[in-house]
Structure 1
Amino acid sequence: MEKNTLALIGAIILIALAIVALSSLSPNRTYAGTAVTPGNRTAINAEKAKIYPYAKEIAEPSGFINVDNITIGSLIGKEVILVDFWTYSCINCERTIPYLNLWYQKYHNDGLEIIGVHTPEFQFEHDINNVRTAVQKFGIQYPVVLDNNYASWDSYGNQYWPEDYLIDIDGFIEYHHIGEGDYNETEQEIQKLLVERSEALGLNISIPNTNGVPGNAVTINYSGIGSPETYFGSARNQYLANGKPSVSGLQTLVLPAEIQPDELYLSGTWNFADQYAENTGNASIVYQYNAKNVYLVASADDATDVHVMVDGKPITDNAGADVRNSVVTVQADQLYSLVQGSDYGTHTLELDVPEPGLRAYTFTFG
């Protein structure tokens, strides 16, 4: 009994320490603060320090995409800063970018700077040329910094793609948001901090107080997505149903007579690496999903045709943006849009790969 009690106490302490670590960069919304004289920045900052964490500098940047150099320290006292951690093959990040582009266009001249910190999930996302191509594809105008060694990620205690930190004129992180969504709330926080900046610098700037929706925004019903992100590589392929998960090397797999939802099935011979599985000959992928849209992160050394079928038929009306005549041609290291459905529901996706060389990384859904 005594040992069990000590173990329980130890577990509680570990949980408490984890909560402290996770919340170290989140504003303390429960502190009411003390009223200070407007314009007294020293007193204002003293009160902010009791509520908000101070911003971290960009740490050990691996390179810059569309700017020669940029630091957070050089912007504090001048601009409001939105730091966005992202990676280019992440569909959640991709759906957030139109809002970031809109805010940059709308508020940059009023004192907002956005810094995209590109921290790679997959090895191919370390390649600066791949990131340059993605930045151009997404029309990103705000500065993008490479964080290949996770130095800035670790400095901020970041955990997700995307994850945003909104830094005020005095250098405090007044707002922190994880993942997609809550765009109206984030824009209202931007507006509030820009008003504060204008007052602090003695500027006569009228900040818009209306929220906008980008023309190319993708609307997602998050409650309608029932399938989890599903990885192919041996480091994280726990949903592999007809093979040996977490095992690297060659596996020859056969499709079963029946499949279960939200589990990954492969046929043919596949070579499993940590981050991906690569077919060595004629092969197929089968997955019963519950969502509206389906995406595949993949690549190949040579252009590789993948035939896309949904519910036993070649996909036509609901084909994703990267599918032509029921075929997606994979080569570039990127996320491919396979299915753009009309509504949320359960369907069976089958990908037939007649030639070797497809490197499949992950399925994501929307």
Structure 2
Amino acid sequence: MLTGVVNAPEINTKHGWLNTDRSYTLKDFRGKIVLLDFWTYGCINCQHLMPDLHRLEKEYPQELVIIGVHSAKFEAEKSHEAIKQAILKFGITHPVVNDADFEVWKHYAVNAWPTVVLIDPNGKVIGQKPGEGIYDTIKPHLDQLIKDFGDRINREPFPFTQEQAARQVLNFPSKLIADPEGNLYLSDSGHNRILKLSTSGQILEEIGNGDAGFTDGSYAQATFNEPHGLALHGQTLYVADAKNNAIRVVNLETKEVATVAGTGELSYYFFDDQLGAPVNPNSPWDLLLDGNQLYIASAGNHQILRMDLQTKHVLRFAGTGREALADGSLREAAFNQPSGLALNGRTLYIADPEASAIRALDLDKAAVSTLIGRGLFEFGDEDGYFDEAYLQHCMGLTFHNGLLYVADTYNGKVKVLDLEKEQIHTVLDGLQEPNDVLVHQGYLWVTNTNAHQLVKVNLETGEQEVVEVKG
């Protein structure tokens, strides 16, 4: 018989619960199989785990209760409201306890995100597993527990009152670019679509029908799954379709969407794996076009990829695949969930959020250096000289007139790097997890992601305006 020995430590905390209307103790779930998911919402590996959790919930609706234990890495991730927004963004249906002080984390001796812990119907710990890809490991244990405990399992459903999102035109807007005619293309990631907008906010075209999926076809037929980065090459729009692990291509003349790279599956490459051979993107987050070369921030495998627009082949370009803040040659350097790209001449700038870093990739010297950032667990909110400055999970950036504008996402700010003086200062604050920045027609445009807004700031007067996006 499969059964645990050690009593599962309590999971209730003083910081409260989300996605439910009450607090719980483990005794409330006695008779159920319980799976604890220790996560932090900015972690791409935690996001990769969610399809497995959804699948298990669907297959074992009577016997299994999944509980998210949110043990925040970053200070900003401890906020109840920020966790609520993440629950809505990721479509989480199970209750989540806020473990802001790592109390539950420590009691279960967890040491990595994500980690799942399986608890039997008697409240005993069966075991834990860190990392992604848990379905094939957990499912046999669930089947065995159901067989062993039989009628002693409580099969009454647990009703949880889930967080409700307000209806809005934009839902977690992400990356933003402009076209030569002055219009904007915006990834409305929470609505799984791309919008073409006028600068007044008028929706000119909608690409994708809004459903989460992986379907090619006309604008009305095509589906995306959390699209982010965008790049425009003539009448072709490239889209980083993050949750589909794919690069989609939009023909703006025929109004058709196709897939140019990726199969929908997660693919990993480390050190010398597949060098010089075609690879698949892993949670691609941003795109940058330089001539006929498309650079891809492959956040899920901590690498920069490059696609030749003529051959359509995607190759590894920079990064070992391990998550670390390491400078050096393209083969030696390591990144931390790269999520934003910008170009100035022959330097590719990279927003490296899990290390709260800004990286510089010299395309001529084929080498990576760090402008700001000290490591995976060093972050803050300090302006000044680069070697004194701190950011917090910065996700977007753009270059304009010798300045590098950065979406300092978890600090809710936009900051500007003066590359000549090697100084950084804040130009906009009070935002809610801004994901991208763009300088266009004398304005600084910002996707104020968790406020579900598009904001523009007059660069001369500093006047700020929320752009009303309308159909």
The alignment's TM-score, normalised by the length of structure 1, stands at 0.52
Could you tell me which of 264, 281, 294 is aligned with 2:370?
Answer: 264
Answer with 1 or 2: which has the greater Rg: 1
Q: Which amino acid aligns with 2:6?
A: P
1:81 partnered with 2:34: yes
Instruction: State how far apart, in whole Å, the 2-side matches of 1:101 and 1:165 are.
Output: 16
* Partner AA of 2:141 in structure 1: E
Cα shift at 1:175: 3.1
| Coordinate RMSD, CA, aligned | 4.7
Residues 8-41 of structure 1: per-residue CA shift (max 9 Å, x gap): xxxxxxxxxxxxxxxxxxxxxxxxxxxxxxxxxx
After superposition, what is the alpha-carbon deviation per residue over 1:140-181, rounded to whole angstroms, capped at 9, x for unaligned?
111111000111011111111110001111222223110101
Q: Which has the larger share of strand?
A: 2
Pair 173,199 (structure 1): closer, same or farther in 2 beyond 3 Å: same
Q: Is the 8 A contact 1:303 1:330 kept in 2?
A: no
In structure 1, distance between residues paired with 2:416 and 2:244: 29
In structure 1, the residue matched to 2:268 is 222
Q: Which amino acid aligns with 2:34?
A: I
Verify the 8 A CA contact 1:58 1:152 in the aligned structure 2: yes
Q: Deviations over 1:314-344 (max 9, x none)?
A: xxxxxxxx8899999554479xxxxxxxxxx
Which residue is equivalent to 2:404? 283
Q: Following the alignment from structure 1 to structure 2, what is the Cα–Cα distance between the partners of residues 156 and 84?
A: 11
Distance 1:124 1:202, change over 3 A: closer
Q: Which residue of 1 aligns with 2:74?
A: 122
Counterpart code for 2:38 = F
1:107 corresponds to which letter in structure 2?
Y
Structural mapping, 1:32-47, within 5 Å: none
Bigger RCO of structures 1 and 2 (CA < 8 A, at least 6 apart): 1
**Any gaps of 5 or more consecutive residues in structure 1?**
1-43, 204-213, 233-237, 241-251, 286-295, 307-321, 335-353, 356-366
What do the CA deviations read for 1:159-218 (whole angstroms, capped 9, x no partner)? 111100011112222231101014212122222223333243598xxxxxxxxxx98676
Partner amino acid, structure 2, of 1:282: L
Contact 2:11 2:26 (C-alpha < 8 Å) held by counterparts: yes
| CA pair 284-239 structure 1, distance change in 2 beyond 3 A | farther
Contact kept in structure 2, 1:80 and 1:197, CA below 8 Å: no
Counterpart of 1:63?
A: 16
Q: Secondary structure at the match of 1:74?
A: helix
Letter in 1 for 2:25: T
**Of 97, 109, 114, which residue of structure 2 is paired with 1:157?**
109
Structure 1 pair 86–201 and aligned structure 2 pair: CA distance change class (3 A): closer
Cα drift, residue 283 of structure 1: 2.5
Alignment of structure 1 residues 92-171 onto 2, 5 Å:
92-108=45-61, 110-171=62-123
Closer/same/farther in 2, CA of residues 60 and 150 from structure 1, 3 Å limit = same
Match of 1:53 in 2: 6
Contact 2:3 2:124 survives alignment (8 Å): yes
- 1:283 partner letter: L
Q: Distance in 1 between matches of 2:391 and 2:404?
A: 20
Q: Summarize the Cα distance change of 1:179–1:324 in structure 2 as closer, same or farther, 3 Å threshold.
A: same
Deviation of the 1:73 alpha carbon: 2.2
Closer/same/farther in 2, CA of residues 297 and 102 from structure 1, 3 Å limit? farther
**Aligned partners of 1:87 and 1:119 also within 8 Å:** yes
Q: Give the Cα–Cα distance (whole angstroms) in 2 for the partners of residues 198 and 297 of structure 1.
A: 52
Supply the distance in 1 between the matched residues of 2:14 and 2:54 (Cα, whole angstroms): 22
Q: Spell out the pairing of 1:297-308 with structure 2 (5 A cutoff).
A: 298-299=409-410, 301=412
Q: Secondary structure at the match of 1:228?
A: coil
Read off the aligned partner of 1:258 and give its amino acid letter.
K
Aligned equivalents of 1:149, 1:202: Cα separation in 2: 32
CA spacing shift, 1:129–1:142, aligned 2, 3 Å: same
SS of the residue corresponding to residue 73 of structure 1 reads helix
Is the 8 Å Cα contact of residues 146 and 153 (structure 2) preserved in structure 1?
no
Contact 2:321–2:335, Cα closer than 8 Å, also in 1: no
Q: AA paired with 1:264?
A: T
CA distance in structure 2 between the aligned counterparts of 1:133 and 1:145, rounded to whole angstroms: 14
Distance 2:57 2:131 in 1: 19
Change (3 A) 1:254 1:149: closer
- The number of equivalent residue pairs is 236
- TM-fit CA distance, 1:239: 7.9
How far off is 1:105 after superposition?
2.6
In structure 2, what residue type is equivalent to 1:273? Y
Which AA in structure 1 matches 2:365?
E
